[in-house]
Chain A
Amino acid sequence: MMKYAGAVVLGLAVVTVRLDAQANDDRLRGLFDPPTYASLHAVLDSARNAGLPTEPLIDKALEGSAKHASSDRIVTVVRDLSARLADTRTALGGYGTAEELSAGTAALRAGIAPATLADLRRLRHNEQVTIPLAVAAELVARGVRPDSASAQVLRLAAAGARDVELAALPRSFASPSVISSLYPGGPGFSAPTALDGGKSSGPVEAGKPPKRSPQRP
C-alpha cells in the first residue's frame, strides 16, 4: 500500500512542480514582449538542464521588470546571474541548494574568495552554508574587508557557531554608506556605530535605535 501511496505522492509532486514552473513561466510571459520572453525562457531552460535553480533567475527578471529596465539589460543580467550561480556551485563543491547558491553568488560578488566557499562547505559538510555566506556578504557590505570577513566567518564556523549566532555578527558593524537623512524635513536616521573596533558586542536590541530596520520586532 505504501508503494502505491508513494507513487501517487511522487506523481502529485511532479505535477505540482510542473504547475509551479508553468506559473513562473506565465508570470514572465505576461510581463515581457515575445522576443524578450523567448530569450529569458532559453536562459531558464539552459539553467534547468544544468541543474541550476531557476527561481533566482526569475526573481532577477522580475526585479528588472519592476525597475523598468530595458529588455536587453534584463536578459543580460539574468544570463550573467546564471553563469554566476554555476561558478558558485563549483566553488561549493559541485552542489548546493537554491538558497546556498544565491547567498554564495552574493558573497562572491561582494569579493569573498571562492576558497572561502570551499572551506565553509568543508567545515559544514552536513549543514547548509546559506547563513555563513550571507553573513560574509553582509560584513563586506558593512565595510569589512573581504579577507577579514572571510576569516571571521570561517573562525566562527570552525568553532561550531550556529546560524543564529553567525547572523548576529554583522549587526555589530556600522554601514559604511549610511545616509543620515534622505529626506529634507524627515526625522533622519541615526546609524549604529562601529563597536569595539569591529569586534562583536552582541546584536542590537529590538527597537534600539528606534528606526533601525530591518530588525526583530
Chain B
Amino acid sequence: MPELPPIDPMDAFIADLQAPVDLSALATARIMAAVRADAARRRRRARTWQALAVAAVVVLAIGIAVYVRPADGTAVQFALPVPAAHEVVVVGDFNHWDTHATPLRRTTNGTWQTTVRLKPGAHVYSFVVDGNRWVADPAAPLAPGSDFGAPNSLVTVAPGTT
C-alpha cells in the first residue's frame, strides 16, 4: 500500500486563504460603489474644511479692516481755548455723541486739544465743557440747522491725507 504524503493542516489552511476569491460581478460593483462613495464623502469633507478655512481667513481680514483699521483715516486736531475749564470733551457723529468717548487734554497755554482720526466726508461735532456746557468750535463753521438748540460745528475731511 503506497504511503500517502504527509499533509500539513496549516499549509492547507494557508492555501485556502491564498486561493483567488470568485466574486460575482454584482458584488464587485457594490464593493466598488461603496469605495467610491466613501472617497467622495472624504473629498466633500475636505472641501468643506477648505472652504471654512478660506472663509475664516476672509472674515478675519474683514474684521481687521473694519475694527482694527479705525486707526486709519485722517488725523484731525480739535482744540478749544478754555483755560478755566476742568473738563472738555468733543462729541460728534464720529463717536456717536458719546460724552465720555473723546476727552481733550489741557496744554500748558490753557488750550484743550486732542487728535481724532476721521473717515473722509463731512462731520458735525461740538465741545462739551465741564459736563454741561455745549460749545461750538469757534474756529470752524457752524453746521446748517441746530435741531436741538446747541449748534454744531462742521468739518470736511478729505481722503488720502494723514
Contact = CB atoms under 8 A, between A and B. Distances in A.
Contacts of A69: 147-149
B70 to A, nearest CB: 15
Contacts of A9: 55, 58-59, 62
Interface residues of A, number: 66
Nearest to B157: A167
B9 interface: no
Nearest to B134: A67
Given A212-B139, A213-B77, A134 B59 contact: no
Interface string B136-151: 0111111111011110
B91 to A, nearest CB: 6
Contact of A189 (B97, B138, B154): B138
A110 B143 CA distance: 8
Contacts of B96: 27, 58-59, 62
Nearest to A132: B156
Interface stretch (A35-43, A45-53, A177-185): A177-185
A103 B110 contact: no
Shortest beta-carbon contacts, A-B, top 10: A167-B158, A4-B51, A134-B122, A141-B141, A8-B55, A213-B79, A5-B54, A110-B144, A66-B97, A67-B148
Interface of A: 1-2, 4-5, 8-9, 12-13, 27, 56, 58-60, 62-67, 69, 73-74, 77, 99, 102-103, 106, 109-111, 130-131, 133-135, 137-138, 140-142, 163-164, 166-168, 170, 175, 177-180, 182-183, 185-189, 191, 211-217
11 contacts: A12-B55, A12-B59, A62-B96, A63-B152, A64-B148, A77-B147, A138-B154, A164-B158, A168-B158, A182-B81, A182-B135
